[in-house]
Structures are given as C-alpha cells and as structure tokens.
C-alpha cells in the first residue's frame, strides 16, 4: 500500500474516533452540569473536559473565562480548534477523499454524508436546545462509520491502518478521560455523592456503566472503575483492549509486508505487556496520575514511531 494512502487512512480513523469521543465526553459533561446543583458539589465539568481533550491551552489563548457556552462552542464547532468536532469531521473526510479508492462505498457514503450534514447544521448545533441531539448524532455517525469499515473493508493494509488509527485514538481518549478524573478515584474527592456521580459519568462516556455490573456485580468502587478502564480485556475501550488490538494489527501489517519489524512493534509490545500483566494495586500504589501520564506519553511516542516507520516511507 502507498505510504500516503496508509497515512490518510490512519488519520481518517483517528479523526472519526476523536469526533465520536468528544461527543461522548460532552454528553457526560452536559449530564454532570445538569446534576451539579442537586449534588451541591463544586463541579467544574467543562474545564475538566477541556483538559481531558487536551484543548485547554488553545481555548485559553482565545478566551479569558471558562464559561459552558464558550467551551461547548470551542469543542464542538470552533474553526480555530483543530480538534473541534466540526474540524475532526472535516479532516476525516479530507483524508478519506484524498484516498477515496481505498475506501468502500459504504464508508465513503457514511463519511461524506456526515460531512454534508455537519456543514448543514453547523450554525445551530451548539444551541442549548439542539446540542444533545447534535452530540447523539455525532456518536451515531461514528458508530456507523466504524461499522461500515468493520463490515465492508477487505482485511488488507487498508483496514489495518484505519483500525490502527481508531485504536490508538481510543486508547488515548480513555487514558485522558480517566486522568481528568483521577482525583475522584484516588484523591481527596473520592468520597460521597459527587464522586459517585463522576464514576458513573466516566463509565457512561465509554459505554461501560451497565458492563461494570456484568463484570463486578457490586456497587461502584473507584478501584474497580480504574481496573475496568485500564486492565479489563472484555471492555472494548479499556487501555488493555485497545493496545492488544494495536499490537495485533501492527503484527499483521508486518506479516503482510515481508516481515519487516521495528521500533513501533517493540514499543507496542511493551505497552501491551505492561497492561496485560499489570495489577491495579500496583498502579494505584505508584500513583494513578503518574501511570496515566506515562500511558499518554507512550501512546504519543508510538504514534510517532508508526509514522516514521510506515507512513512517511
């Protein structure tokens, strides 16, 4: 496969996933903000989300106050935020269009229709009355696109690089979401109704609230929430599940391309091994925030190595 094609597919996968993750994060923040007064806590959901999305520096360069309206607009629509939902959709579609022949018709139509509808509703998407519907739409479109890819792509390098992008982005998102709430897991805020609602929200954002009950059969406990999001292989959005797929996919790519392996394969294997054989007690003892920061940084390193090895051939 052309390196440029692989590069575009990888970024298309990342951007679609990022748009969906942002919508998930915003849905949770909306919910928490709605509960804030009844919980009586000092809930600063929107700032937390800005930090989790890595969008705080850009936001503060343009805004002096963190108001819900400003954050929503920034995350959902702002042209100046390269990772706003609107820009993610634009970038995903731009990457897809640049390599159209590598996409199936179903994928292209899912992507192109999303882009067209996004343009049509950009003016009103952040209206308070419209926002929940818009976020749900983004989530659904992401699911549709991922489903189209999973159901229609030939299992060749095209699929592998698309999937690789999705999985790396997803791992990054889960680590960031959990990190943004680490204080409610291990810190001072890990007691009481507010903390409980935060754990719920966290699980909900990765579609795992019900799954938690199926795995642990007990009320929410911060240690188990962290365990689930980091170490459970059953949860498709856990760090372990994502990195297990990343290692597998990189392995398949190497097999399909003459067995050539390098730093991305070593690093992916190392990250996967630490997660696979890690214990939640040790992670918490060493500090959750430190652990997650390291995860996020290694994920960035891995992305860089993949780019150097495959995408800029």
**Which residues contribute to the site for other proteins (CB under 8 A)?**
1-6, 94, 97-98, 100-101, 105, 108-109, 112-113, 157, 161, 253, 256-258, 260, 310, 313
Q: Is 226 left (phi over 0), alpha (psi -120 to 50) or beta?
A: alpha
Task: Indicate the residue among 4 and 304 with the shorter CB distance to other proteins.
Answer: 4
Sorted by sequence, the CB contacts under 8 Å of residue 295 that are 6+ apart come out as: 171, 175, 239, 271
Q: How far is the CB of 150 from other proteins (least distance, A)?
A: 21
First to last CA, the chain: 11
Task: Indicate the residue among 234 and 255 with the shorter CB distance to other proteins.
Answer: 255
The alpha carbon dihedral of 167, 168, 170, 171 has a sign of positive
Q: How far is the CB of 76 from other proteins (least distance, A)?
A: 23
Task: Indicate the residue among 3 and 293 with the shorter CB distance to other proteins.
Answer: 3
Q: Which of 213, 36, 23 is nearest to 125 (CA)?
A: 23
Q: How far is the CB of 296 from other proteins (least distance, A)?
A: 26
Task: Indicate the residue among 106 and 183 with the shorter CB distance to other proteins.
Answer: 106
Question: Can you say how many angstroms the Cα of residue 29 is from the centroid of all Cα atoms in its chain?
Answer: 15
Q: How far is the CB of 43 from other proteins (least distance, A)?
A: 43
Task: Indicate the residue among 168 and 180 with the shorter CB distance to other proteins.
Answer: 168
Q: How far is the CB of 44 from other proteins (least distance, A)?
A: 40
CA–CA dist 60, 50 (Å, integer): 10
């Amino acid at each position: 496969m052309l390196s440029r094609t692989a590069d575009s597919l990888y970024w298309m996968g990342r951007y679609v996933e990022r748009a969906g993750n942002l919508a998930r994060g915003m849905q949770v923040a909306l919910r928490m903000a709605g509960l804030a007064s009844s919980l009586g806590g000092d809930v600063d959901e929107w700032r937390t989300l800005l930090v989790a999305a890595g969008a705080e520096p850009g936001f503060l360069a343009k805004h002096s106050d963190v108001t819900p309206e400003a954050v929503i607009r920034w995350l959902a629509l702002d042209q100046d935020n390269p990772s706003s939902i609107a820009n993610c959709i634009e970038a995903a579609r731009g990457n897809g269009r640049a390599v159209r022949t590598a996409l199936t018709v179903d994928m292209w139509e899912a992507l192109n229709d999303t882009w067209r509808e996004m343009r049509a509703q950009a003016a009103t998407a952040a209206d308070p009355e419209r926002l929940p519907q818009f976020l749900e739409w983004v989530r659904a479109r992401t699911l549709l696109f991922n489903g189209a890819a999973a159901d229609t792509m030939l299992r060749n390098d095209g699929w592998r690089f698309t999937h690789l992008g999705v999985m790396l982005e997803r791992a990054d998102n889960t680590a960031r979401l959990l990190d943004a709430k680490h204080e409610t897991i291990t810190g001072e805020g890990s007691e009481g109704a507010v903390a409980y609602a935060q754990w719920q929200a966290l699980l909900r954002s990765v579609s795992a609230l019900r799954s938690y009950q199926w795995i642990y059969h007990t009320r929410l406990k911060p240690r188990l929430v962290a365990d689930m999001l980091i170490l459970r292989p059953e949860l498709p959005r856990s760090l372990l599940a994502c990195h297990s797929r990343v290692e597998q996919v990189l392995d398949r790519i190497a097999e399909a391309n003459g067995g050539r392996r390098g730093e991305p394969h070593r690093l992916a294997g190392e990250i996967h091994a630490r997660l696979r054989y890690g214990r939640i007690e040790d992670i918490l003892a060493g500090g959750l925030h430190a652990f997650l920061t390291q995860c996020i940084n290694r994920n960035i390193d891995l992305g860089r190595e993949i780019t150097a090895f495959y995408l800029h051939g």
